[in-house]
Structure 1
């Protein structure tokens, strides 16, 4: 399943996925120098890019990647549960209405204003997707700088442990609460930027 904007109706699901995986390589490997696997020298995929993963992908009018995020069900394998449970003061939050956000990616081939707009649209899409799908909680792992930004978006976001617990002291486990007030919270935070979304399968056929 892929959520995309309807402004690129000619881009099939597999093209959107390729654009996203290429953007992830550009950001997380080429720019941030994360030690991650690379497929065919141009795509970043890891052990969690499985059929259980869901993706929110924002495309421009020509089908180019603008922003994306991966959502993983927490009842199965996910990043926080498998590799960063030590960042949680208690048990890792899990459940049928708890989803993990990872690989929040803003395309590098945008100016600062366009990246900010894409960020706000993706954050809003995450909140609207959660309300539509009955997701009550998002979890994730972020460095301290990004955690502070996520918390300032306006939604109810808290650390799962009072301070960073990883050896380098730079990572936080985060917990975002989704309720009926989340869109109003994002409006107050100044990041509410709704888009009309269409639901597509991996072949790009609209489902509804």
Structure 2
């Protein structure tokens, strides 16, 4: 783990943002042992958490973090384009209507059923957000097990290349197409779930 103190302080006004960054630390650093920057020994924040990043955050009835995801513009710095372009057989997909999903985070402090419900509601929120905002595609990088799940959700999803080894595991790049049929496709597989959790859509800076 890398302890970092160079990142700006998290805005104290946003409890949802603080809860999300804390949950990311618990999942990606404490559980999965990813080598990521940690701020104040509490929050996982990296170089892509800039004022240009967007966040979808699902909260429970008491305001606790349940699930979240970060969206990055592919016309600027993002994980696939900057760190893993070799995962694509061709060019990295970029464009104003293409966003990258990263830090898809399900809170550890919930049982398996609640995690599954939160996962489906976050996927639903991602689809609804894309349709509302005119986003045509999402891209992302995922470990092999999670990549296999994403491919089975029922939406238009394709690998961008062969998964490759990465520090003892395999990761792959993917592209997800979003159109007016996506909701129906996810409904048929039981993934699309009307939101019962509070959704916060944020472009708030961590400054």
Q: TM-score, normalised by structure 1?
A: 0.87
Aligned to 1:185: 185
Question: Which position in structure 2 is the counterpart of 1:33?
Answer: 33
**Normalized against structure 2, the TM-score is what?**
0.88
CA shift, 1:169, in A, is 6.1
Residue in 2 aligned with 1:93? 93
Offset at residue 199 of structure 1 (A): 4.9
Q: Distance in 2 between matches of 1:53 and 1:127?
A: 17
Which residue in the other structure is 2:142 paired with? 142
Q: Residue in 2 aligned with 1:132?
A: 132
Aligned residues: 191
Query: Residues 21-41 of structure 1, C-alpha deviation per residue, up to 9 Å, x if partnerless?
Result: 000000000000000000001
**Gaps in structure 2 of 5+ consecutive residues:** 1-11
Superposed structure 1 runs of 4+ greater than 2 Å apart: 165-169, 196-203
Distance 1:185 1:100 in 2: 21
Asked if the contact 2:55/2:201 (under 8 Å) is kept, the reply is no
Which stretch of structure 1 is more off in the superposition, 190-199 or 70-79? Answer: 190-199
Q: Secondary structure at the match of 2:69?
A: strand
- The match for 2:20 is 20
Structure 2: distance between partners of 1:13 and 1:134: 29
State the Cα RMSD in Å.
Answer: 1.7
Deviation at residue 50 of structure 1 after TM alignment? 0.3
The verdict on how the C-alpha distance between 1:30 and 1:132 changes in structure 2, with shifts beyond 3 A counting, is same
Matches within 5 A, 1:24-63: 24-63=24-63
Q: Secondary structure at the match of 2:164?
A: coil
Cα distance in structure 2, aligned partners of 1:56 and 1:150 = 18
Gaps of 5+ in 1: 1-11, 204-208
